[in-house]
Amino acid sequence: MDRLLQAIDWFIPDAATLDRSELGLARNFVATHILGPLLSQSISVLLLMTDPEPGFAAWTMVTCVCLFWTLPFILKFSNSLPLSAIISVELLAFTSLFGAFHYGGVSSPFLPWLIVALMLGFFYLNRRPMLVIGMFAFNIAVFCAFYLAFNFSQRIPLQDLAMVGWISIFSATVYMSWMAVYYAHIMTMGSELEREAERHRATAVRLRNAKELADRASRLRSIFLAKMSHELRTPLNAVIGYSEILLESVEIDGKNPAKKVDLERINAAGKHLLSLVADVLDLSKIESNQIELKIERFSLDDLFASIVTTTQHLVEARNNRLVFVASGGESGARERLGEASTDPTKLRQIILNLVSNAAKFTQNGVITLSARRERRAGGDWIEVQVRDTGIGIARDELSRLFQNFVRPPPRPPASMAAPDSAWRSARNIAP
C-alpha cells in the first residue's frame, strides 16, 4: 500500500506540503485517471468489434480514452489540479457527445458519461460552479448544432450496440460508485473535523473562563499585596523611628554603650527588613520575574560594619566567634575598602544569608567573613568570602547548589562532610 501511495504521489507536486484534504483529492484524481481508462478500454474493444468498418469515429473514441492517461502527467508538470480537472471534464464530455453523435444519437450508450463529466466538474471544481455549468452548456450547444447541421450518423444499428451499452453503463456505475464512496469519506472526515472544532470551541470557552478566574485572582492578589504593604510598612517604620529616638537619647546620655549597640542592631535590621518588604511586595517585579537593581554609591566599610553588628548575636547564640578580615588584616588593623557602586540592599542580603547559614550549621567554631578589593584594568573587583568550621556540604550534594527551591537534605555526620564550607561572591561593583 505504501509503495502504491508513493507511486501516486510521484504525480503530485509538493505532496508533502499539501494538507490532508488537498492531498486526498489529488491522489483520487491520479488514481481514477490511471484505473478509469483501463475500465473504459473494454468499451473501446467492444466498439471496434461491433463496428463493421471501424474508421475515424471508432479510433477517435479509442484515442480519447487513452488520452485520460496523460492527465496525471499534466497534473505533475502544470502543478495545477483545477487545470487538470478542466481538461478531464472537457475530454470526457467531448468523448461522450462524440460517441453519441456517431453511435446511437440520444439513445447512445455513451451519453451516461456526460452525467459523469458533470459530476466530476462539480466535484473537482466546486469553487467554480459557473465554469462547470458554462462548459456543460457549451458542449450541449455544439452537439445540438452538429445535429441540426448534419443529423446523427447511423453507423451501427442501435440493437447491435446493446452489449456496448451494458458495458458502458456498468463502467459508468463503477466509476460513479467510486466517486460516491470517496465523497462519503470526505463527508465523514468533515463531520469529524466539525466535532473536533466543537470540542476546541468548548475548550476555548473553558480556557476563557479559567483566564477570567485567574485575572480575578490576580486583581485580588494585587489588592491584598497593596494592603499588606501598608500594614507591614507601618509597624516597621514605627520600630525604626523609635529605635532612632532611643539612639539619640543614649548618645546624649553616653552612659550605656552596650544599649547603644543593641539599638543600632535593631535600627539596621529594621531598615533592611523594610527594604526587603518593599521589594517583595512590588507586584510588577513578581509578575515579570525580574529583580531590578538600585545602583547606589555607598561605603563598603559601613556596609560590613552593619553586617557584623547585625549578625553578631546570631553567631554568638551557638558559641561561635565571628572574624571579619578585610584587605589582608583583621578588624581595626586593616585598610579601608573604600566605596562601591551597586545595589547595597541586595549585596547586604546575600552576605547576611551566607553568614546566618554558616552560624546555623556551626557549633563552637569560627566563622570568617572576609572582603578583599582587587584592582584590575577594567575596574576594581570586590571578593567576599564566608568560611566556617561547621559540618559543610556533602560532596554528592554540591551539584545541587544554585538550583531554585531545592532544600538540602538532613545534615550528614561530620565524617561525611567537607572539612569546611567556603562561599565566594565576586562582582565588578567597585567604582
Mean pLDDT, the chain, rounded, equals 80
pLDDT of residue 378: 75
Distance between alpha carbon 8 and the CA centroid of its chain, in Å?
Answer: 34
pLDDT of residue 333: 41
3-state secondary structure 245-312: HHHHHHHHHCCCHHHHHHHHHHHHHHHHHHHHHHHHCCHHHHHHCCCCCCCEEEEHHHHHHHHHHHHH
Q: What percent of the chain lies above the pLDDT cut of 70?
A: 85
pLDDT of residue 83: 92
pLDDT of residue 424: 40
pTM for this predicted structure: 0.47
pLDDT of residue 279: 65
pLDDT of residue 428: 43
pLDDT tens digits, 58-98 = 899 889 989 999 999 999 888 888 999 999 999 999 999 99
Query: Which cell numbers in the block locate residue 169?
Result: 453503463
Measured between alpha carbons, how far is residue 196 from residues 25, 54, 113, 317 in Å?
A: 21, 57, 38, 66
DSSP 87: H
Distance, CA of 8 to CA of 64 (rounded, Å):
22
pLDDT of residue 282: 60
Q: Which residue has the higher pLDDT, 422 or 317?
A: 317
Question: With 50 as the cut, is the pLDDT of residue 420 above it?
Answer: no
Q: What percent of the chain lies above the pLDDT cut of 90?
A: 12
Helix, strand counts (H, E) of the chain: 12, 7
Question: With 70 as the cut, is the pLDDT of residue 359 above it?
Answer: yes
Distance, CA of 184 to CA of 28 (rounded, Å):
13
DSSP SS3 for 404: coil
CATH class of 293-427: alpha beta
